[in-house]
Every structure is written in C-alpha cells, then in structure tokens.
A and B are shown apart, each in its own frame.
Chain A
Amino acid sequence: KAGVTQTPRYLIKTRGQQVTLSCSPISGHRSVSWYQQTPGQGLQFLFEYFSETQRNKGNFPGRFSGRQFSNSRSEMNVSTLELGDSALYLCASSLEDRVYGYTFGSGTRLTVV
C-alpha cells in the first residue's frame, strides 16, 4: 500500500514568486491536511480538505491556499513568497473522521531566497 506522496521534495524559490506543492494521499483516505514545520514555530496547521471542500483552516494569511481534486489529491499554493515561508511543508491524509491519526508524507522542503 503506497504511502502519502509529496512532490517535489526540495524547492528553491525567489522572494515574490509563487509555488505549488502536490500531495497524493493514501488510497481510500479522503481527508488531506497541510502543516508547516519551522524550527521557530514548530508544527502549525494550514488547512484541511475533504471531498474537494476546505473543511478547516488555520491562522495563515490568504497567500496560502489549497485545493483538492476528485481523486483526493491535493495541492497547496503560496503566492508572493516571503523569506519567512521557508519551511518543511507536510501533507497528511486520514480517514474521514481523523481521530485515528494521520499518515504523513515526507514533506516538501521550501527555501525562499
């Protein structure tokens, strides 16, 4: 059974650019959540998608957005990149009710220069 796949693994972007990250969940998992991990702020929730709808959202500016497709694959987009957006972005998939925990991907390491 394939795990959660995130692409790309590493990305270097320039301040002001935009970036799109991709996540393919475990087969059968319809909930996809995104987290940002930084040394200073730790793990912070970005948003969650279920059945192509955003179900929950964290406290991030509108530059951070996402979407989910009918096959449950998800993308997140960050526009007008800032140096502070440099982080490990983790995607996690789960069953609909989420209480039995997430399966995480290996993450995308974004560096903004």
Chain B
Amino acid sequence: GEDVEQSLFLSVREGDSSVINCTYTDSSSTYLYWYKQEPGAGLQLLTYIFSNMDMKQDQRLTVLLNKKDKHLSLRIADTQTGDSAIYFCAGTLGRSLENYQLIWGAGTKLIIKP
C-alpha cells in the first residue's frame, strides 16, 4: 500500500547539520514535500521536489532525492534553536493530478541540544 516512513526523533547539537530521512512507496510520478510544524501551529511548507529532480537547495535547506531507493532527505545546515519542530515528509506517490492528495509520514521531531 501507499506509505511514507520517517524516524520519529532526531537530536542534534546547535550549529551542526541535521539530516532528516524519509522513504516512500511508488515513485512512478511523484511530488514530494517537506513541511514543518511548530507547537500549536499549522504546517509550513519548507520545500518541494519533483520526481524528475535529484537535488534542490534553498538557503540552509538541501533536499536529496534517490529515486532508485525511494529515499528523500532534508538537510538543515547550521541548525538553530528555532529549527526545533516536527518535520513531515509527504508525497503524492504516483497519484495523478486529478486524484491529487498527499500521503504523510508520521513526522520527525527535531531536538536541538545546546
């Protein structure tokens, strides 16, 4: 079935890089997203990558897509305390635009150590 998997927690030291990983089923034609959720708030779109791309960089964020292994990662450079949040991986997993909906991972809680 359709599935997106993430580890539940990641702990990193302030100033280090954080790498959050995600694996997914089906990659025929997929739109993939990273969202951030802070306590008591909705979700904030961080970045997206389409299945015809391998990498995307946006300031401190780097997304890598390995289509063969169906693996997506989000790297946050120079992690700050303000990066503490839950990070969700989501994808359309082969659905057509007419049937567009996102399948979500369970979220990775990023914990920053001083």
Q: Name A residues whose Cβ lies closer than 8 Å to a Cβ of B.
A: 4, 6, 33, 42-45, 48, 56, 58, 90, 92, 97-107
Cβ of B88 within 8 Å of any chain A Cβ, yes or no, is yes
8 A Cβ contacts from B58-114 to A: 88, 90, 97-102, 104-107
Given A42-B104, A48-B101, A105 and B42 contact (CB-CB distance below 8 Å): yes
B42 touches A90 (CB 8 A): yes
Q: Name B residues whose Cβ lies closer than 8 Å to a Cβ of A.
A: 31, 33, 35, 40-45, 48, 50, 88, 90, 97-102, 104-107
Interfacial chain B residues near A106, Cβ < 8 Å: 40-42
Given A45-B101, A48-B101, A56-B99, A99 and B42 contact (CB-CB distance below 8 Å): no
Given A43-B88, A56-B99, A97-B97, A104 and B44 contact (CB-CB distance below 8 Å): yes
Query: How distant is B37 from chain A, measured CB to nearest CB, in Å?
Result: 9
8 more CB-based (< 8 A) A-B contacts, given A6-B42, A56-B101:
A42-B107, A43-B88, A43-B90, A45-B102, A48-B101, A104-B44, A105-B42, A107-B42
Query: How distant is A5 from chain B, measured CB to nearest CB, in Å?
Result: 11
- Complex Cα spacing A101 to B40, Å: 21
B42 touches A58 (CB 8 A): no
- Complex Cα spacing A45 to B102, Å: 7
Among the listed A4, A98, A100, which residue makes an inter-chain contact with B42, where contact means beta carbons less than 8 Å apart? A4
Interfacial chain B residues near A43, Cβ < 8 Å: 88, 90, 102, 104
- Complex Cα spacing A43 to B40, Å: 15
